[in-house]
Amino acid sequence: MGPSATVNTEQPQVSAQPLIIGRNEHGISRKQFSPNAIKVLYRLKDGGFDAYLVGGCIRDILLGQQPKDFDVVTNATPEQVKKLFRNCRLIGRRFRLAHIVFGREIIEVATMRGHHEAPVDKNQTSQSSGEGQLLRDNVFGNIEEDAERRDFSINALYYSINDFSIHDYANGLAAIKAKQIELIGDPQTRYREDPVRMLRAVRFATKLDMSIAPDTEKPLTELASLLDNIPSARLYEETLKLFLNGKAEANFLMLRKYGLFNALFPALDGILEQNPDGFEHAFIKQMFRNTDERINAEKKVTPAFVFAALLWFPLLKITKQLQQQEQLSEYDAFQQGMNKVLSESAQHVAVPKRFTLGARDIWHIQHRLDKRAGQRAYRLTQQPRFKAAYDFLLLRVEAGEQEHTELVQWWTEYLAKDINGQKELVKALGSQGAPKGRRRTRRRSPKPAE
């Protein structure tokens, strides 16, 4: 990784003279980069612009990990980038970006960011909220200014296509060696500029097996409420990164530690606060542990299952309240409760409809799993979400709902048998698996008049 660097105990600042690690010192080969990213770098260079690979891809390679994304930074404006690439589309309002599309791979190209106090032309815009949050960030600058605008020191590493050297502007190599996540600049200011950095600090700490530096950690609990100002659609994207990256359980525990989980799922957080060591906490931990195991085994995980679990206890709480306050049946209260819990949750994390529909199906089937007589068991297994609903019941028992143990065992045996074995299991149930309280009365024809 090049020459060793001493750890800076103060909050890192950007140096105008970066530490430059030559090609022979850092050990990174261009073969470790996406060929499409290299193409982008060279075309920008041939177009007369400066271009660097930056951030996570450099950090991950230095840590011996395989990067998922390759981001490029340049002094070309988004419009100039678009002129160089026919396969380019410009996106973003808060900060304008260029996406260079190569089939399924997208290379993200950002223009070097500048300081908001600097004079800007009519094409550059900057806007902040009263809390200091950046609402518009289209102010361009040079590489030193761009490094100052990066969030963490480990992300202020630039790979130059000119001489294949790494430029370290904020002691990022030292932070990697010390295994610390540290913000560049004043933490209070940087978190207020973009509160999502608090979630990113947690995610990087668990992903990279690092600790959060004391100065970076200190304001987290105090400023957690700033996440309420972030659009719910953006928090949904961050939630996926936190809970579908193979480190969900660790992220959940750390988010709870700093009071950040409340900004994402306040209804569940309130329930967990009332009973920190209860069944609900065990259920959520077990769900995340199972999710991590599946992802790390390269098995599929649907967000519908994760959100069904995260909103399950708020749903049960609302259902009970509706039964008591509105004098509704359990079924009607459950139906209204689903609408209400999803509507309230969407104010914080905007889950797309395709996943909320999946969560609804998983919840619905929970109430039908004990109705197994006749053709009901077979018809239930034909439901698209049956397997997820079965796994959900399994999770409930695994976390401590022992009253459903026999039901889980029955369904496990049923799914393992052939059609004849399944019929025998259903036959053995007798009237046990029939719906309760739903007797159908045959409508009688009126008697003829005498």
Q: What's the CATH code of the domain at 81?
A: 3.30.460.10
Write down the pLDDT at residue 49: 96
Residue 446 lies in a domain: no
Q: Are both 393 and 273 inside the same structural domain? A: yes
Residues 348 and 416 occupy one common structural domain:
yes
Residues 56 and 150 in one domain: yes
Residue 303 belongs to a domain: yes
| CA dist., res. 129 & res. 137, Å (int) | 12
Residues 164 and 211 in one domain: yes
In a domain, 276, yes or no: yes
pLDDT computed for residue 432 by the predictor: 61
361 given a catalytic annotation: no
Q: What is the pLDDT of residues 21-48, one digit of tens each?
A: 998 888 898 889 999 999 999 999 999 9
Residue 176's domain spans which residues? Answer: 19-230
Q: Which two tokens stand for residue 46?
A: 């041939």
Same domain, 321 and 224: no
pLDDT at residue number 371:
93
**Farthest-apart Cα atoms in the chain, separation:** 109
How high is the pLDDT of residue 443? 41
- For 136, residues 6+ apart whose C-beta sits below 8 A from its C-beta are 93, 94, 125, 126, 127
Q: What is the mean pLDDT of residues 421-450?
A: 62
Query: Each residue of 210-247: pLDDT tens digit?
Result: 999 999 999 999 999 999 999 999 999 999 999 999 99
Please tell me the distance from the alpha carbon of residue 414 to that of residue 136, in angstroms, as a whole number: 57
- What distance, in Å, lies between the first and last C-alpha atoms of the chain? 103
Q: Tokens in use for 70?
A: 């390759």
Report the mean per-residue pLDDT for the chain. 88
Nearest Cα neighbor of 283 from 200, 404, 386 is: 404
Looking at per-residue pLDDT, the higher value among 347 and 126 belongs to 347
Tokens of residue 376, six digits: 């009901």
Exposed e or buried b per residue across 179-217, where buried means at least 16 C-beta atoms within 10 angstroms of its C-beta: ebbbbbbebeebbbbbbbbbbbbbbbbbbbebebbebbb
Last residue in a domain, options 230, 252, 281: 230
Q: What is the pLDDT confidence band of residue 318, given thresholds at 50, 70 and 90? A: very high
- Report pLDDT digits (tens) over 260-308: 999 999 999 999 999 888 999 999 999 999 999 999 999 999 999 999 9
- Any residues with CB less than 8 A from the CB of 122 and at least 6 apart, and which? none
Q: Are residues 178 and 52 in the same domain?
A: yes
* Mean per-residue pLDDT, 11-21: 73
The pTM assigned to this predicted structure is: 0.84
Q: What percent of the chain has pLDDT over 70?
A: 86
Position 4, amino acid: S
- Are 366 and 413 members of one domain? yes
Active-site position among 50, 60, 71, 146:
71
251 within some domain: no
> Using 50, 70 and 90 to split pLDDT, how confident is the model at 131?
low
Same domain, 152 and 214: yes
**Section 319-342 average pLDDT:** 94
From CA 39, how far away is CA 46, in angstroms rounded?
A: 10
9 occurs within a structural domain: no
Please report whether residue 289 resides in a domain: yes
Question: The domain that contains 294 carries what CATH number?
Answer: 1.10.3090.10
Report pLDDT for 132: 45
Q: Which one of the listed residues 69, 186, 332, 391 is annotated catalytic? A: 69
Same domain, 34 and 160: yes
| Residue 5 within a domain | no
Given a cut of 60, whether residue 8 has pLDDT beyond it is no
Q: Mark whether 193 and 316 lie in a shared domain.
A: no
The single residue of 137, 151, 168, 292 carrying the catalytic annotation is 151
202, 230, 258 - which closes a domain: 230
The share of the chain scoring above pLDDT 90, in percent, equals 76
What tens digit of pLDDT does each residue of 347-403 get?
A: 999 999 999 999 999 999 999 999 999 999 999 999 999 999 999 999 999 999 999
Active-site residue, 194 included? no
Domain count within the chain = 2
Within-domain flag for 75: yes
- The answer to whether 71 is a known catalytic residue is yes
